[in-house]
Amino acid sequence: MKRRPVQPDDGEPTDWPGSAQVSDFLTRQLAGRRLAARSCLTYGRSLKGFALWMKSNGGWDGDWSKLTARNLRDFVIERQGTHNRRSVHNQVSALRAFLADLRERGGITTTPAAGLVLPKLPKSLPKFLTEAQTDSLMDAAEDSEKDDPQETARDLAVLELLYGGGLRVSELCGIDGGDLDLGSGLVRLMGKGSKERVVPVGDAAITAVKAYLALRGAPARGEPLLLAARGGRLHPRAVQLMLKRKLAVAGLPADLTPHKLRHACATHLLSNGADLRLVQEQLGHASLSTTQIYTHLSVAKLREVHRKSHPRA
């Protein structure tokens, strides 16, 4: 079956300058599983926004080979006045990926994004739950809010897997029968960029999954491990809504998301002496620098302990 071209889904016309090459790029990225569907849409919106900006600043005809480094610099400078720095970085990231692909395929001969200087991003530490808060959340998950013991058991298994393995919610929902070895406590995951990794999830998660499967029944290989209330694979949005309810029961901040359990996993591992590179492998980070942000949290904890404990602090 011929794959339908991907276009940014923002309700506006699709016949904008350069749209054909962008659509081809997004379709191939999605087909090759280099980008998730949501990422493709985000890239598409960024590339469309740039193309329309180019058209409004000189009547650009959509010929990507005419693009210059000066165009990109002007775009970044103007965007800084209307968008936050993270948004500017994300838009340029989409442009760089598209232009690199275009050059690889012979659509352009140079990469005008090379050497482009971006505004520095402010360093912000990720929010996460403390160990005590995590315990409170798991206790809340065991308190049934419905009359369905299978759903209650599933909710606890979901939270224990997210925290125990430091999983992304998309990775969690993608676990199939056969991916999780209940004997060894290892789960095989498909992460970003279709990169596979195998990580431990911990005894608490295994115990919770076993309790869930005792009620749900063991899935066949290739079938989803975690089921939605009405059957079928559990969706990330359902996990988010479930977490909101459990946070309310536990009296924890409502702005905590499933990803914060991933942050909590990394932070607690490092705080308790885990090696940074092992945590990198656990989380599936391509670069160690991505994992290093969690060391700031550990250092902050050390500083606080020093302040309270050292006689000359």
Residue spans per domain, the chain: 19-104, 131-308
pLDDT score of 302: 53
What is the per-residue pLDDT for 172? 94
**Could you tell me the two tokens for 15?**
């016949």
**pLDDT score recorded for residue 4:** 45
In CATH, what is the architecture of 19-104?
Answer: Orthogonal Bundle (1.10)
Residue 298: per-residue pLDDT: 58
Q: Do domains 19-104 and 131-308 have the same CATH topology?
A: no
Phi-psi region of 266 (alpha: psi -120 to 50; beta: other; left: phi over 0): alpha
pLDDT at 10 (0 to 100): 46
How many Å apart are CA 26 and CA 266, to the nearest integer? 32
Q: What is the DSSP letter of 235?
A: P
Nearest Cα to Cα of residue 116 among 151, 175, 68, 84 = 68
Q: How far apart are the first and last CA of the chain?
A: 69
The closest of 131, 129, 167 to 272, measured between CA atoms, is 131
What pLDDT score does 3 carry?
A: 43
pLDDT in tens, 146-155: 668 999 999 9
Judge contact between 199 and 187, C-beta under 8 A.
yes
Low-confidence ranges of the chain (pLDDT < 50): 1-5, 10-13
Which tokens belong to 104? 């690889």
Q: Does the reported pTM lie above 0.75?
A: no
Residue ranges of alpha helices (H) inside the chain are 19-31, 37-56, 69-79, 85-104, 131-142, 149-165, 169-173, 203-216, 236-250, 258-271, 276-283, 288-291, 293-309
Inter-residue contact 55 to 19 (CB < 8 Å): no
pLDDT of residue 117: 83
Contact 231, 217 (CB under 8 A): no
The residue among 5, 64, 270 whose CA lies nearest residue 279 is: 270
Q: Annotated active-site positions, please?
A: 168, 192, 259, 262, 285, 294
Count of Cβ atoms closer than 10 Å to residue 214 Cβ: 11
CATH number of this structure's domain 131-308: 1.10.443.10
- What is the reported pLDDT for 227? 95
How many C-alpha atoms does 27 have within 13 Å on its Cβ side? 12
Answer whether 266's CB lies under 8 Å from 283's CB: yes
Instruction: Please report the pLDDT score of residue 287 as a whole number.
Output: 74
